[in-house]
Structure 1
Amino acid sequence: MVQRIAFRSSLLALALAASTALGTGNVLGATERPLQIIVSKDQQSLVVYDGDTVVATSHVSTGKKGHATPTGIFSILQKARHHRSNIYSDAPMPFMQRLTWSGIALHASGQVPPYPASHGCVRMPDDFAKTLFGMTEHGMHVLISDKQVLPTPVSHAFLFQPKAEAPPLLSDVELRPTGSQLPSSTQPVEIAMGEPADKPAESALPSGPPVRMLITWRGQRETTMDAQNILIDLGFNPGLPDGVSGSQTVEAIAAFQKSENLPPDGRVTAELLSTLYKKTNRGTPANGQILVRRDFAPVFEAPITIAEPHAALGTHFFQFHSAADADNNGSGGSWFATTLDNALPKTIKARLGLTDDSDSLAFNAAERTLDRLSLNAETRQKIEKMLADGSSLTITDNGLGQETGKGTDFVTITYAGPKG
C-alpha cells in the first residue's frame, strides 16, 4: 500500500490542527488512497493530490538561475529526517526526500522565499516539510512542471484494469473424500466440493507493490534485441539477445542476408527487421515499447504499436486508484491523467523521425495519445494480473531517461518550451 496505517492516523491528527500548526500550508484531510505531489515552478507551489482532490498545499522555493530545478516525472527514492548535502558544504537538509541520485530532493529550510532561490532542490517550510514527510513513502510520485498542471479523471479502453478470475469449473474443483450413503460401499467416495454459493467474491485487485510502466518509441537496442531473437528462431547464432550488436550478431546477420541473397553488411536496420518479420510471418515490426518496473527494478518489456509515427506522443502521467465497489466482484478502479509540457529538442525529433509536435494544451491530449496505442492480448493480461493500487503509466517521447537506473522508478526529464 502506498499509504501505511500509521501514516493515516498521524495525518488525520495533523489535518485537524492544520490551520494553526502549519501557517504556511494547508492540509485538507487524511486519505487511504495513493497520493502524488505536483510542484509548479511558475507558482512556486507544492500540492498533494489524492486523485484530483487536494490533500495538502504549501509555497516552496525551487532552483535559481544557473541551478534550475529539472522538470519531469520523479518518485521518492530515499527519505531521511536528518541529512546533510554532500555537494554544498555539508548544508543541512532536514526531512529530505530524494528525487534523483544526482542531487535533487524535497527538504525543509528556514529560508523559503516566494521565488526561486535554491541550488536545484525544492525547499519547503519546516512545519510543512515535517508533515509531508509523514504522508509519503518510497515510490510516491512527484511531478515538477513549469506551468501549473492538474490531474483529471480519465476513462479509456487502453488503460489497464484488474480482471477477476473466473470461478473454477466443477471438473477443476478439489476432490474431497466422504463417506458413502450406499449400504454396499466399504470405501470412501471422492466428491467435488466447491465453496458455498453465498460466500462473497474476493477482490481481483492484487496485493503488493504497484507497478510502474513506461511507453515510448522503440530504440536501436530494442530493434537489435528483436532481430537477435528472430535470428535464433531461424537457426542462426547471434549470441545472447542483449540488444548489443557485437561481432557474433554481425556475423549472424550477414549469414542470414547471404541466405536471402541480400548484401551481407551485418547491420541492424529497419529494412533488416522488416525482412526478418516477413520471413517468420510476424506481420509488421512494432515501433514502440512498454517497459514495466516494480520495487525500483525492471520486470519485463514488450513491443507496442504506435499509430501516426510522425507525430510526437507528448508526456502524460497516469495513476491508478483501485475501487472496491467498482463492480460486483470488487475489481476495477479509476485512472487520473496529468499532461506535462515537453518541447522536444530538434535532435530528438530528428532521431525519432517526428515532424508534428505535441500540444499539451490540446483538448483531451492524453486520450488522443491513448487512441494511438495498441498492445497484444498476452502482454495486457500479464500487466493486469500485476496491477495494484497506486500503479502508474508514463507515456513520453523521451525514452528511458539517464536518471532511470538501479534503485529508481522511471524518471522522465521534460524540456522547457519558450517563455511567452
Structure 2
Amino acid sequence: MNFRLATGMGILGLLLSCGTALAGTLEGPLQIVVSKDLQELKVYDGGVVVATSRVSTGKAGHSTPTGIFSILEKKRTHFSNLYDSAPMPFMQRLTWSGIALHASNSVPAYPASHGCVRLPNDFAKTLFSLTRRGGHVLISDRAVEPRRIVHEALFRPATVLPETQLLSDADLRPGLLDDGTKSVEVAMTEPVAAVPEPAVQKSEQDPIRILVTRRGEREALIDLQRLLTELGYDAGAPDGLLGRQTIAAIKAFQAAEGLAEDGRVTPELSAAVYARAGKGAPPNGRMLVRQKFKPVLEAPVTIRDAETALGTHFLLARDVDSEKGTADWYGVTMENHLPQSTMTRLGITQAADAGAPDALAKTLSRIDIPADMRIRISAMLSEGASLSISDTGLGAETGNGTDFITLTRKAPLKADAAPVRKKNRKKASSVTAVR
C-alpha cells in the first residue's frame, strides 16, 4: 500500500509537470510504451494513460531495437564510454548491449540518437523516481496500447494444497546449458494424478516473469538423451549435442524397434522414444520462469496448431488479490515478422496476424499448461507478474541479470518502396548509446 500511495503521488507530480490531465486513481506497477512512429512515450497505469512525452529514438544506422524489455539498471548520473563520456543523466538501462532511456538536452521530434531513447530532462527525472528495476518497457514500430484481457488460460493467485509438493520443496536440477541462459527444471518424484481447485492465501513476493515459447532443437535433444538413457540406451550426458555416444544410443534403439539404423534425430524417432517410455507425445513448447532476474523454473507445454505462429504478446498482472484469488491482466500484441528461414526451422507455415482483434485470445487458447505446473505458477503470482509469448525463444539479449527480453522484427521494405528522406533537419548534438 505504501508503494502504491507513493507511486500515485509521484505520478501526480509527473502529470502536473507535463500538462497531462489526471484520470482516476493511480496505482503501480506502471508500464512504459515507446512508439517509434510517433516518437512518443506513454506511461500506463493498467489500461489508462497517465502521462506522455515526446522522445527521440535511434537514427538511421543506429536504430533503436523493438520488443519487450525490462529496466535492468538505474543510475542518476551516467557517462557513455563510447562517445566521449557523453552525459546520460537518469539512465534506465534496457539491454546490457547498450540501449537505455535517459535524459537529454536534445530531444527533436524525429529519430536522432545512437540507439537509446532520449527524454526531456524534467520528464526523465520524474519518471526515474517512479520506476523500479524490473519494470517493463515496450518499444514498438507502431503505436500499441495495453487492453484488459479476460481468458480462462491466464493465471490467478493461489496457494499449493498440502497434498501437492511445494515448489520450494521440489528438487531442482540444471536445465539448459547455454551461456547466460541457464535455467532450472522441476523434477517431481511422482506425477500428480488429479489437481483439485487450490485454496488461496495472501502472498507478498517479487513478481515473476513467465515466457512461453517453442521448444528448440537443443532442448528436444536433451529430453531425448534422458529418455534413451532411462530406457537402457546410454546416450551420455544430456547436453543437447549429437555426439558419437548419443548417435550410438539412437542406433541401438532403432535396431531394437525395427527402425532404419541411421542415427538421425527426426520427429518419427522422438515419437517412438516417447511412446516406448510411456510419455505420450513429445512436447513442442516450454514455459520458463524468472524471478529477481534469475531462472527458477522450466516446464514443458503443448502448443496446438503448431504450424501457425504464436505471434509476440505481452501481459501484465494488475490488482492481484490473493484473498479472492483474482487478477486483472492487461495485454499487448506486437508486430514481429519472422524471416522465412526461422519459420522453416520452427515448422511454421502460417504467419501470425498481429492486427487481428482476437490474436492474443486465440494464442492463449492454443497453449496447454500441465495442471500441476499451473498451480505452482499460481502460488508464485503477485502484483506486477508478467507473461511473454514468443515463437523464437531466448534471444541473445536474455542472459545473466535480465528478465526475458524479446526482440521483434519489422516487415522488410518492398523493393519498389523508396526511402523517405528528411530535409533540413538539424543535427542532434548529444549521443545516446550507453554501455
- Write the deviation string for residues 282-326 of structure 1: whole angstroms up to 9, x where unpaired: 2211211111111111112111111112211111101111343x8
Matches within 5 A, 1:234-245: 234-245=231-242
2: CA distance, partners of 1:6 / 1:360? 35
1: CA distance, partners of 2:43 / 2:353? 25
Q: Which amino acid is the alignment partner of residue 331 of structure 2?
A: A
2:307 aligns to what SS in structure 1? coil
Q: Which amino acid is the alignment partner of residue 245 of structure 2?
A: Q
Alignment match of 1:352 (pick from 346, 350, 356): 346
The question of whether the paired residues in 2 share the 8 Å contact of 1:319 and 1:335 is answered with: yes
Alignment match of 1:221 (pick from 218, 222, 242): 218
Larger relative contact order (Cα-Cα within 8 Å, sequence gap ≥ 6):
2
Matches within 5 A, 1:2-401: 5=2, 8-9=5-6, 12=9, 15-16=12-13, 18-19=15-16, 21-22=17-18, 31-164=26-159, 204-324=201-321, 329-401=323-395
Q: Cα distance, 1:212 vs. partner? A: 0.9
1:215 aligns to what SS in structure 2? strand
The question of whether the paired residues in 1 share the 8 Å contact of 2:18 and 2:53 is answered with: no
| CA 1:413–1:16: 2 relative to 1, 3 Å | closer
The question of whether the paired residues in 2 share the 8 Å contact of 1:208 and 1:388 is answered with: yes
- Write the deviation string for residues 323-379 of structure 1: whole angstroms up to 9, x where unpaired: 43x8xx332111111000111111111111212111111121100111111121122
| CA 1:403–1:256: 2 relative to 1, 3 Å | same
Aligned-pair Cα RMSD in Å: 2.4
The question of whether the paired residues in 1 share the 8 Å contact of 2:73 and 2:92 is answered with: yes
Q: Cα distance, 1:94 vs. partner? A: 0.5
- Write the deviation string for residues 370-416 of structure 1: whole angstroms up to 9, x where unpaired: 11111211221221111121111111112211111111111111011
Q: Cα distance, 1:165 vs. partner? A: 5.8
Q: Cα distance, 1:259 vs. partner? A: 2.2
| CA 1:292–1:165: 2 relative to 1, 3 Å | closer
Q: Which residues of structure 2 form unaligned runs of 5+?
A: 164-198, 418-435
Q: Which amino acid is the alignment partner of residue 392 of structure 1?
A: S
Q: Cα distance, 1:203 vs. partner? A: 6.0
2: CA distance, partners of 1:250 / 1:89? 54
2: CA distance, partners of 1:76 / 1:390? 14
1: CA distance, partners of 2:227 / 2:95? 37
Query: Percent of counterpart pairs with the same letter?
Result: 50
| CA 1:335–1:13: 2 relative to 1, 3 Å | closer
2: CA distance, partners of 1:10 / 1:212? 21
| CA 1:101–1:300: 2 relative to 1, 3 Å | same
The question of whether the paired residues in 2 share the 8 Å contact of 1:11 and 1:29 is answered with: no
The question of whether the paired residues in 1 share the 8 Å contact of 2:68 and 2:139 is answered with: yes
2:260 aligns to what SS in structure 1? coil
The question of whether the paired residues in 1 share the 8 Å contact of 2:66 and 2:138 is answered with: yes
What TM-score, normalized to structure 2? Answer: 0.81
- Write the deviation string for residues 49-106 of structure 1: whole angstroms up to 9, x where unpaired: 1110122211100001111101000000111000111222211110000000110000
1: CA distance, partners of 2:294 / 2:407? 19
Q: Cα distance, 1:216 vs. partner? A: 1.3
The question of whether the paired residues in 2 share the 8 Å contact of 1:12 and 1:29 is answered with: no
Alignment match of 1:402 (pick from 396, 401, 407): 396
2: CA distance, partners of 1:301 / 1:250? 26
- Give the number of aligned pairs: 379
1:153 aligns to what SS in structure 2? strand
2: CA distance, partners of 1:283 / 1:167? 28
